[in-house]
């Protein structure tokens, strides 16, 4: 497939993992990277790289349009939530294709509280959640969730488990929120409290076009990169494995169809199991690939990143069924090392047992 792809935030973990997947699936793809941070850009794996204005600067749209014209770009792919929303707002001015969900869907998904309320109103499993609009409300919210010994406190927007922590009493919540408001500049009213979900942690990544589910894969997060986060969990696992749970994928399918009957683009959904094993959607990332996209691209019959490009460019995509599962594959990640996708049998190759 001859195509020229522009990847935003080039040099970041998300963009480099995506570029590796694209090149592994189709080496003929020409990838252009851009970033407003020259230090991060220097690490980019793209074939050609450009320094561009930041998304908040006036020259951002013009810079992308000029770059798209100069490099004859066929498709632009954002790799962060903030860029997904900004590109969705500018898509008619950029001068090349994007393959993004509707802006209203993106905005709803980027507010975790609004998304949770939307899902629960439609009887789609999501954790019981209340907004904490002021510190005075904390005790009242705790009483409404009193059936749980442990609750989950987190910020409505953002990635990487920012501001997320398990709590057992109102004092912990007030101290946590006060810290983020005073030291991190988080606006008042940004936090929520919800039921705590102790079960398995899944990532389901799926591709849609005109309301049809084209391809879906899922992985279970087994261990997390130790970032010192007090929450103890993160969307960035150190170890993940391929799994196939039809009930989990069905919940994701229902949620995305509820968001938009004409859904298109890539969605990745975070799901945790409740104490009774019920899969609950904790967030939906609309319009971007998961940072752990490697396990969805390099295991199984279909490379999801390349399939996304084919769908975006209206190329033929014929799949016997949308569910692609390769058993016993693992993603191993760490700081400052390349992520590896390996079959279980490969972990014993070249290793002697010295116990």
* E strand or H helix that includes residue 267: strand 265-273
Between CA 163 and CA 157 the distance in angstroms is 10
- How many residues comprise the chain? 355
Q: Which one, of 239, 202, 221, lies nearest residue 341 by Cα?
A: 239
Domains with residue ranges and CATH for the chain: 4-98 (3.40.50.20), 128-195 (3.30.1490.20), 201-348 (3.30.470.20)
> Angle 302-236-195 (CA atoms, 0-180°, nearest 5)?
110
In sequence order, which residues have a C-beta less than 8 Å from that of residue 291 and are 6 or more positions away?
A: 13, 14, 17, 235, 236
pLDDT computed for residue 231 by the predictor: 65
pLDDT computed for residue 228 by the predictor: 59
Phi-psi region of 328 (alpha: psi -120 to 50; beta: other; left: phi over 0): left
C-beta of residue 315 within 8 angstroms of C-beta of residue 321:
no
Q: How many helices (H) and strands (E) does the chain have?
A: 11, 15
**Burial, 181: exposed, middle or buried (Cβ in 10 Å; 0-12, 13-18, 19+)?**
middle
DSSP 143-174: HHTTT-SSEEEEESS-STTTT-EEESSHHHHH
pLDDT computed for residue 310 by the predictor: 97
pLDDT computed for residue 196 by the predictor: 93
Q: Give strand pairing partners of 284.
A: 269
C-beta of residue 198 within 8 angstroms of C-beta of residue 152:
no
> Angle 130-136-137 (CA atoms, 0-180°, nearest 5)?
20
The one-digit pLDDT tens for each residue of the chain (355 residues) are 789 999 999 999 999 999 999 999 999 999 999 999 999 999 999 999 999 998 888 889 999 999 999 999 999 999 999 999 999 999 988 999 999 999 999 999 999 999 999 999 999 999 999 999 999 999 999 888 876 678 999 999 887 677 889 999 999 999 999 999 999 889 888 999 999 999 999 999 999 999 999 999 999 999 988 755 666 676 789 999 999 999 999 999 999 999 999 999 999 999 999 989 999 999 999 999 999 999 999 999 999 999 999 999 999 998 989 999 999 999 999 888 899 999 999 998 888 888 8
Between CA 178 and CA 56 the distance in angstroms is 28
Between CA 170 and CA 87 the distance in angstroms is 40
C-beta of residue 202 within 8 angstroms of C-beta of residue 220:
yes
* E strand or H helix that includes residue 206: strand 201-209
């Amino acid at each position: 497939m001859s195509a020229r792809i522009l990847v935003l935030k080039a040099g970041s973990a998300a963009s480099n993992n995506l570029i590796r997947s694209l090149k592994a699936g189709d080496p003929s793809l020409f990838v252009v990277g851009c970033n407003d941070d020259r230090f991060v850009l220097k690490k980019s794996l793209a074939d050609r790289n450009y320094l561009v204005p930041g998304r908040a600067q006036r020259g951002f749209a013009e810079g992308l349009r000029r770059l798209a014209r100069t490099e004859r770009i066929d498709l632009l792919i954002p790799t962060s939530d903030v860029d997904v929303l900004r590109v969705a707002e500018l898509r008619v001015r950029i001068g090349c294709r994007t393959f993004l969900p509707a802006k209203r869907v993106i905005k709803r998904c980027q507010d975790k509280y609004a998304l949770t309320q939307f899902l629960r109103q439609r009887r789609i499993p999501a954790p019981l959640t209340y907004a904490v609009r002021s510190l005075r409300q904390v005790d009242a919210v705790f009483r409404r969730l009193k059936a749980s010994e442990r609750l989950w406190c987190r910020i409505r927007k953002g990635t990487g488990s920012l501001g997320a922590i398990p709590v057992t009493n109102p004092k912990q919540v007030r101290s946590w929120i006060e810290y983020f408001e005073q030291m991190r500049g988080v606006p008042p009213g940004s936090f929520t409290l919800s039921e705590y979900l102790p079960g398995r942690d899944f990532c389901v990544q799926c591709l849609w076009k005109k309301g049809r589910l084209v391809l879906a894969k899922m992985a279970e997060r087994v261990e997390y990169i130790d970032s010192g986060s007090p929450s103890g969990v993160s969307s960035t696992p150190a170890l993940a494995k391929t799994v196939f749970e039809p009930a989990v994928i069905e919940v994701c399918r229902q949620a995305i169809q509820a968001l938009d009957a004409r859904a298109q683009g890539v969605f990745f959904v975070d799901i945790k199991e409740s104490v009774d094993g019920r899969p609950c959607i904790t967030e939906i990332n609309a319009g971007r690939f998961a940072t752990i996209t490697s396990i969805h691209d390099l295991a199984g019959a279909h490379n999801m990143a390349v399939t996304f490009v084919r769908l975006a460019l209206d190329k033929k995509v014929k799949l016997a069924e949308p569910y692609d599962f390769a058993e016993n594959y693992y993603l191993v990640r760490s700081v400052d090392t390349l992520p590896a996708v390996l079959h279980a049998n490969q972990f014993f190759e070249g290793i002697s047992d010295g116990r």
